[in-house]
A and B are shown apart, each in its own frame.
Chain A
Amino acid sequence: MEPTPLLRIRDLTRHFAVGGRVVKAVDGISFDVQRGETLALVGESGCGKTTTGRLLVRLAEPDGGSIAFDGTEITAAKADTLRAYRRRMQLIFQDPGSSFNPRMTVGALVSEPMHLAGLKRAEQTARVAELLPLVGLSADYAARYPHEFSGGQRQRIGIARALALRPEFIVCDEPVSALDVSVQAQVVNLLTGLQQQFGLTYLFISHDLRVVRHVATRVAVMYLGRIVELASKQDLYRRPRHPYTRALLSAVPSHRPGMTRKRLDAIGEIASADAVPSGCRFHTRCVHAQHRCREEDPALRELAPGHVAACHFAESLPS
C-alpha cells in the first residue's frame, strides 16, 4: 500500500472577485506532497503559485476542493483544530524584510510563533539561542533589529522563525529571489541542509528553473490557475511534455556564450486570469495550437509513470 502523503490536495479552487470580474487564481488543482520531498511549484507571475501556497497552509480560504494533512481533512477545520495543524506547517516569504515588524528584535520575531503557541518564556529564549546558530547567525543577534541585517541575513531570520515550532511542512515562497546572486547559493544550501537534518517537507515556489533543478524532487508547472505538467525533476528537465514547460526551459538564458537559442514554444505573454481562454488555456500562446485546443480543455494525462501533462498533442510535439 502507498504511504499516506503528508498533503493530499484535490480539486482545490480559489477565485477572487475583482471589480465585477472573477479571477480564477487557482482553478481546480490536485496533487500529493510526499513526506520528505521537495515539490517545486513553478510558473510565471499570475499563474496562481503563491495563492496555492497560501491555501495549503490555510492562510487563504479555498472556495472548493479538499486539503488533507497527514490523512486528516483540514479544509473545513475550525480555528482550534486548525491551530494544532498550524504548528506543523509554516511559510517562508520572498522578502523577509517586509514581513517583519521593524520594532521587534530578532529574538522577539523568532519567539513570536512560540509565544502564540503558549510556550513559556524560558523555553522560548532557549529555543531562540538554539535556532539562530542553526541558520548560521550568531546567538547575540537576538537583541538586534531586522534593519541592521542584510537581505540574506533577514532571510535566515525568517527561516529561524519558521523552524521555531519544529514544523514538518514548509511552504518556501520564492525564498531566494530577492537576494543577491552571491548569497542565493548560501540560502539554498541552508534550506537543503535543514531538510536533511530534520526530515522537512517543502513546497518550493519559484520562477527560477536553475534553483528548482537543484532543490526539487518533483516539479509541478502551473499556468493560469492549473497544473499543466507534473513529473520527477529528472523527467521534467530531460523530457518536458507540455509546450509551456518546454517554453519555460528554453527561455532560461544559457551560460554558454554563442549557444543559439532553441525556438520558443510560446509567444506573447500570460493571459489574464480574469479572462481565461477557452479550451486549453495555453492555446493563445502555443505555437503548436490546433483547432481542438481552442475547443476542448485538455485533462492531465499520465504519459509515463509519474509523469502527467495536460496537452492534447503531447505525444506528437516535434522534438
Chain B
Amino acid sequence: MADDIATSHPSRVVALAEAATDARALLSVRDLTVEFQTGQGRFEAVHRVGFDVAKGQVLGVVGESGSGKSVTALALMRLLPDHAARISGGRIVFDGSDIVPMREAEMCRIRGRRIGMIFQDPTTSLNPIFTIGHQLREGLRVHLGLGRAAANRRAEELLNLVRLPSARAALDKYPHELSGGMRQRVMIAMALACEPQLLIADEPTTALDVTTQAQILELLRDLQQQMGMAIMLITHDLGVVAEFADAVQVMYAGRIVERAPVSRLFANPAHPYTQGLLYSMPALEEEDPPVLPAIPGMVASPFAMPMGCPFHPRCALASDVCRAAVPPLNPIAHAHSAACWHVDAMMAA
C-alpha cells in the first residue's frame, strides 16, 4: 500500500492542461469555478481549479482566508449556500460520476456516505439537544438502514475506533459534556460511520490545543491507513501538511498556484508565494534572522482583484508580464507544477 502511494501518486498530481478527467482517480476536478453573488457585487471565489485525488491518497490544500480552499470543499460536497453561491463551471467527477448536475436526492446518497466530512469547530456541527449516541445512530439508520440495536452496537464500535475514553458511557452524553478534543473525535466517528472513500477535513485541528492537535492527527493518520480512504485536508498550517499529506496544493486568491509531492514542496518551493509562506514562518529548531522575511502587503480583495497574476502586488519578482496576464499552472518537474511567469528564474536561484 505504501509503495503503491509512492509510485502512483506523483503521476496523479501533474498539471492538467487538458480538461480530460482521470478515470483512475477517485476524485477528478476540472475547471471548477464557483461564483458568489453578494450585496457588494459578484465575484469568483474559485477560478478554474483542477486536481485529482487518488484512492488512499492524502492531499493537503493550503491557503489563507480568501484563497478558495474552503469554498472548493463546500463545492465538492454540494453544500454551497444556495442563495449566494453557485458552481458556474467545471466538473467534479467522483468515482466515475459528475456530481455537479446531480439532483439533490442522488447527492444525498454520496454526501455523508461515500464522502465524509469534518469541520474546524465540532461544536457547530453537533446538535446540542441530542445525545452523541442519538446523532451517531441517526446517520447509521438513514445511510445504512441499520435497525436500532445494530445501530447502537455500531455507534459504540465507532467511538472505540476513534479512541474515545469510556465509549459506552459517551453515547448518552450531550456535546457540551465533552471536551473540544473529544467532540472532534465524535465528529470523526460520525464522518467515518459509513466508511467513506473520501474524507474532506476542513481545518480539523485548528480550534484545538497543540497537544490535542497532535493526538487527533495521529488518530486520523492511523484510521486513514487502516481504512485506506483518501483524505483532502484543508489547512492554513504548513506544519500539519508536512506531517500528514502525500501531495500538496497551494491556493491563492481562488487559484491553485503550486502543486507538488509534499517532500518536494518543502525542499524546492517554486512559487514566490509558497516560498514566502515557508520562509516567513519562525523556525522551531534554529535561530531566525532578527527580522522575519515577511510577505509584504495583504491578500487581495475578491472585489478588487489585481490584473494579471493575483500575487503580483506582493511579489518581489513582479514584472510587466505578471501585471498583464495570469500565469498558467505549468509542469516544472516530475509531478511538480507552478503558476508563475518567473518560475525558471526561481528554480535556477
Contacts and interface: CB of A to CB of B under 8 A. Distances in A.
7 contacts: A183-B298, A192-B291, A207-B210, A213-B283, A248-B210, A253-B217, A255-B283
A250 B172 CA distance: 34
- From A182, A183, A210, A252, name the one whose CB has the most chain B CB atoms within 10 angstroms: A182
Contact of A209 (B210, B238, B293): B210
A68 interface: no
A227 to B, nearest CB: 18
A255 B265 CA distance: 11
A211 interface: yes
B5 to A, nearest CB: 13
A252 B236 CA distance: 14
Nearest to B243: A253
B280 A261 contact: no
Interface residues of A, number: 43
A45 B277 CA distance: 26
A80 interface: no
Given A181-B64, A185-B280, A207-B209, A152 B214 contact: no
A294 B219 CA distance: 28
A2 B243 CA distance: 46
Given A210-B282, A210-B283, A214-B292, A254 B214 contact: no
Interface of A: 44-45, 150, 152-153, 180-186, 188-189, 192-193, 207, 209-211, 213-214, 237, 247-259, 261, 264, 266-270
Contact of A210 (B263, B281, B290): B281
Nearest to B294: A185
B262 A181 contact: no
Contact of A264 (B182, B214, B314): B214
A196 to B, nearest CB: 9
A152 B240 CA distance: 23
B181 interface: yes
A255 B278 contact: yes
B212 A269 contact: yes
Contact of A182 (B237, B240, B266, B276): B276
Given A209-B284, A214-B288, A256 B242 contact: yes
Interface string B151-195: 000000000000001000000000000011110000000000000
B272 to A, nearest CB: 11
B239 A255 contact: yes
A269 B237 CA distance: 21
A269 B180 contact: yes
A251 to B, nearest CB: 4
Contacts of B277: 181-182
Given A213-B288, A247-B211, 11 more contacts: A44-B211, A45-B209, A180-B298, A181-B238, A183-B298, A184-B280, A210-B284, A251-B213, A253-B243, A261-B214, A267-B215
B284 A254 contact: yes
Contact of B282 (A45, A153, A214, A249): A214
Interface string B193-230: 00000000000000001111111011000000000000
B241 to A, nearest CB: 8
Contacts of B212: 44, 269
Given A180-B64, A269-B181, A269-B209, A153 B236 contact: no
Contacts of A261: 214, 218, 243
Given A185-B294, A214-B292, A256-B266, A251 B210 contact: yes
A193 B278 CA distance: 22
B7 interface: no
Contacts of A267: 215
Contact of A211 (B209, B282, B296, B299): B282
A152 B180 CA distance: 28
